[in-house]
Amino acid sequence: MSSTTTTTYTHPLSSGEALELKAYLRDHDYEFVAPPAHASFAARKDKINLVVYESRKLVVQGKGTGEFVEFVLEPLILKRAEVGYEEVLHPEHFLPRLGIDESGKGDFFGPLCIAGVYVNESVVKSWKEAGVQDSKNIGSDKRIADLAELIKSTPGCVWSVVPIGNPAYNRLYNTMRSVNRILAWGHARTIENLMLKQHQMNPKPVRAISDQFAQDKETVSKALMSLGQSIELVQRHKAESDAAVAAASILARHEFVTRLGSLEKSVGMRLPKGASAAVDAAAKAFVAKEGPEKLESISKKHFRTWFRALDMPEPPKTAWKRNPKPS
């Protein structure tokens, strides 16, 4: 790989490597700037921007990325060569697979959207320079939309999105009584939808990868339908580091943002993302404007915001307990 072609690079660092990198940047006149949320430090110089997150994940961006990685990061910090050898060092990154992710789980207003993406070697390679990454690391809805269009139009890529609107979500929650069960059903439904498109996939996927959102991995595997049971299901924490899951996170976020925007237009008011004091205020304003009976059509009823908006007593908080290990 030419050192001039890579414009986005991510790599986990040890605590020692992070300290060495920070010292190098300081000694070589990099400008330290205000870090984004959940980041330890950020710096820039010429055509390079670097961020090291609290998780010690390094993100390098800019036209000078390839040269920085090849001539600074690898020989001086990592002390090993990786760029240009991904297929040898990480052959699993190029296997045909499905990636599944969701958006809207932590948002009071708007739907829950689950997306799935099939990738193969050519798809992964075509995204190398495109900046396809976990949607939580992309701050602009416009950038999310642009990447979603790129993903959908990539030759060889197959995708599916399952949006669960608020009325349907609330009905599911009334029956399932668990967000994780809804997620499990949504992930299983998305995998099934993708497997119905196997004739578009070359070669066929060998596994489906998703973030592990439930303590018990069986939560999802039990929900798999007939076609989904025919491939290996891999659940792991921080699965968005996988290109297929990252792409799914972008499609899911784009679907969520688009549908939330449509809801805002239909009710004629701003509906903030997430769950916060601003969300509480918007919920109360909506109830005052439209009446309590319509709140269910745009929100998730099990959030505490629901009870606050309707001036109802909040349910008691339950302490999370780890399930005992089987004897």
The DSSP result for 262-318, as a single string, is HHHHHHTS---SSSSHHHHHHHHHHHHHH-GGGGGGTB-TTSHHHHHHTT-PPPPP-
> What does the pLDDT read at residue 303?
97
The pLDDT tens digits for 76-110 are 998 876 655 455 445 567 799 999 999 999 999 99
Q: Return d(Cα 39, Cα 111) in angstroms, integer.
A: 29
DSSP class of 116: E
What tokens appear for 62 in the block? 């800019």
Mean pLDDT, the chain, whole residue set: 90
Close Cβ partners of 238 (under 8 Å, ≥ 6 residues apart): 55, 211
| Buried/exposed code over 24-33 (b: 16+ C-beta within 10 A; e: otherwise) | ebeeeebeee
Confidence of residue 179 (pLDDT cuts 50, 70, 90): very high
Identify the H or E element spanning 122. helix 121-126
179-195 and 166-176 helices cross at what angle (nearest 10)? 120
Confidence of residue 189 (pLDDT cuts 50, 70, 90): very high
Q: Return d(Cα 216, Cα 95) in angstroms, integer.
A: 26
For residue 308, pLDDT over 60 is answered with: yes
Residue carrying structure tokens 């609107």: 165
> What does the pLDDT read at residue 3?
34
The pLDDT tens digits for 131-163 are 888 888 888 999 999 999 999 999 999 999 999
> What does the pLDDT read at residue 92?
65
For residue 187, pLDDT over 70 is answered with: yes
The pLDDT tens digits for 159-178 are 999 999 999 999 999 999 99
Q: Sign of the CA dihedral 66, 57, 119, 102?
A: negative
Q: Bridge partners of 12?
A: 57
Q: Of residues 111 and 225, which shows the higher confidence score?
A: 111
> What does the pLDDT read at residue 326?
43
Q: What SS3 state is found at 61?
A: strand
Q: Return d(Cα 26, Cα 78) in angstroms, integer.
A: 17
C-alpha Rg value of the chain to the nearest Å:
22
Q: Return d(Cα 60, Cα 76) in angstroms, integer.
A: 16
> What does the pLDDT read at residue 134?
83
The pLDDT tens digits for 245-300 are 999 999 999 999 999 999 999 999 999 999 999 999 999 999 999 999 999 999 99
Closest by Cα among 159, 72, 170 to 112: 170
> What does the pLDDT read at residue 136?
86
Which residue segments constitute the domains of the chain, with CATH numbers given? 8-84 (3.30.310.10), 93-259 (3.30.420.10)
CA angle 107, 190, 197 (to 5 degrees): 145
CA angle 72, 76, 80 (to 5 degrees): 95
Q: Which CA distances in Å does 276 have to 63, 106, 137, 288, 300?
A: 37, 10, 20, 19, 14
Residue range 115-123: average pLDDT? Answer: 96
For residue 128, pLDDT over 80 is answered with: no
Q: Return d(Cα 312, Cα 87) in angstroms, integer.
A: 57
> What does the pLDDT read at residue 10?
87
> What does the pLDDT read at residue 91?
55
> What does the pLDDT read at residue 253?
97
